[in-house]
Amino acid sequence: MALNFSKFTLIGSFSVAVVAIASGCTNSTNSTSQPAGRNGQVVSVYSARHYDTDQALYKGFMEKTGIEVKLLESKDDELLERLKSEGSTPQADVLITVDAGRLWRAEQSELLQPIVSKTLNERIPANLRHPEGLWFGLTKRARVLVYNTAKVKPTELSTYEALAEPTWKGRVCVRSSNNIYNQSLLGSFIESKGVETAEKWAKGLVANLARPPKGGDVDQIKAVAAGQCDVAIVNHYYVLRMIESKDPKTQAIAKQVGIFFPNQKDRGTHVNISGAGVVAKAPHKQNAIAFIEYLTSPEAQKIFAEGNDEYPAVNGVEVAPALKPYEKFKSDAINVSAYGRNNSEAVKIADRVGWQ
């Protein structure tokens, strides 16, 4: 377990020592200090988002409220384990993580507490927040299809379901079912179509794979561009990152693929979130609520959107320039909490059909 202490303000040297002892590993640290908050007010944040642009959010919150942000960044599972180890005396007030499936894991481990916020309920659509206020979506991520523009016409594409049809035999790439993105996609199938139909689709998808699943979403994009497969399932922002890359080789790869939003004539494209919740027994609960409310403000949503080319969770906020061509699409309206609720069944289905 190697935690990355990229702090906006220093959590404290004792925190580093605790993690080092617990993990038995050396930690890579990188900390910077900002002026202390007014009247000693603080909010401690554990975040699995690793985007430098998020620093502007923490700075903006402190300037607006006078509350000092103490940040610890690491991988999702490591943060969840840390919170479990802290038990009834957590050092964090807010947990930020990506994918509703991971928020569900935090929920199942009783690491979050329900909150009531009129501001959050008004800003965040009902399907992008927990029904009982345990967590709230901050950004949206579309799981799209990328295709080789030299081998596939957009008119040949339609739905996720179609990728299980014989016409796509040996032409599909997708990362492992161990990845939470795919588990949540399958969880959405279970919610919309039922277990039997979801399993039939997964079995057909596996039968049509051009190669065994390997690598991350970027690797699937590269495989499509290289002609190893004709179409792949990825999160939209990975393609945009490659388009905006300063590396000519990466740009050249991105130019060989197109983006397609599936299921526009029925339920809509699968959308996931990054989100935040107030930690159970948070030492600064009210500051935590204020912080999450700030993250849903128009100014913060704009920073989120432009930082990683994600879609704002709040309606009416302008998308980043790179997203303009892909701004309008129909998204699946089911509550994203279903992804976590169906996670166990999704994993079982993947095992049964041999989705590695």
Same domain, 94 and 20: yes
Same domain, 100 and 146: no
Output the furthest CA–CA distance in the chain (Å, rounded).
Answer: 66
Place of tokens 């990362």: 175
Q: What would the two tokens of residue 32 be? A: 């910077």
Does residue 27 fall inside a structural domain? Answer: yes
Same domain, 149 and 254: yes
pLDDT of residue 28: 31
Q: Give me the number of domains the chain comprises.
A: 2
123 CB-contact burial (10 Å; exposed 0-12 / middle 13-18 / buried 19+): buried
For the stretch 174-216, pLDDT in tens is 999 999 999 999 999 999 999 999 999 999 999 999 999 999 9
Question: What is the model's pTM?
Answer: 0.88
Does residue 38 fall inside a structural domain? Answer: yes
Query: Hey, what's the torsion of the CAs at 114, 116, 119, 123, to 10 degrees?
Result: 50
What span, in angstroms and rounded, lies between the C-alpha atoms of 337 and 55? 28
Beta strands in 211-327 (DSSP E): 231-235, 257-260, 271-279, 311-312
Same domain, 183 and 108: no
CATH code of 83's domain: 3.40.190.10
Same domain, 145 and 130: no
What span, in angstroms and rounded, lies between the C-alpha atoms of 195 and 47? 33
pLDDT of residue 179: 95
Same domain, 124 and 265: no
Phi, psi angles (nearest 5°) of residue 74 = -165, -175
Same domain, 132 and 230: no
Domain holding 74, by residue range, is: 4-139+273-319
Does residue 325 fall inside a structural domain? Answer: no
Same domain, 145 and 126: no
Instruction: Tell how far CA 253 is from the center of its chain.
Output: 24
Query: How are the residues of the chain apportioned to helix, strand and coil, as percentages rounded to the nearest 5?
Result: 45, 20, 35
Does residue 47 fall inside a structural domain? Answer: yes
| Regions of the chain with pLDDT less than 70 | 1-39
Phi, psi angles (nearest 5°) of residue 274 = -105, 150
Same domain, 212 and 66: no
